[in-house]
Amino acid sequence: MPITKRAIKKLRHDRVRTKQNAAARHLLESKVKKARKAPTATTLSQAFGAVDHAVKNHLIHKNAASRLKSRLAKRLKK
C-alpha cells in the first residue's frame, strides 16, 4: 500500500482512470464486434469512430487502429 500522501492520491486517480479505460475498451470491442458480424455502412462508421476515439485517448496505437480500420473496410467490400 502507498505510504506518502501523493502516492495515495495517485492510487485513487489510477483506479478511476482504470475504470474509464475499461469502459472505453469495452465500447470499442463491442462496436468492432458488431461491425465484423454485420458489416454495413452505419456499423462501420460507428466502429471507425470508436477506434479513432481510442487512439485519441491512447488506448490503442495508431498503427493498430489503421490496421483494424483497413480490415473492417475490406469486409464491407466483400
Residue 77 has pLDDT above 90, yes or no: no
Amino acid 1: pLDDT: 82
- When pLDDT is averaged across residues 55-68 and rounded to a whole number, the result is 96
CB-based contact 28:37 (threshold 8 Å): no
12-57 residue pLDDT tens: 999 999 999 999 999 999 999 999 999 999 999 999 999 999 999 9
Annotated domain spans of the chain: 5-77
Query: Sign of dihedral through CA atoms 10, 16, 22, 28?
Result: negative
d(CA 15, CA 20): 9
| CATH of 5-77 among 1.20.1630, 3.90.226, 1.20.58, 3.40.50 | 1.20.58
d(CA 28, CA 22): 10
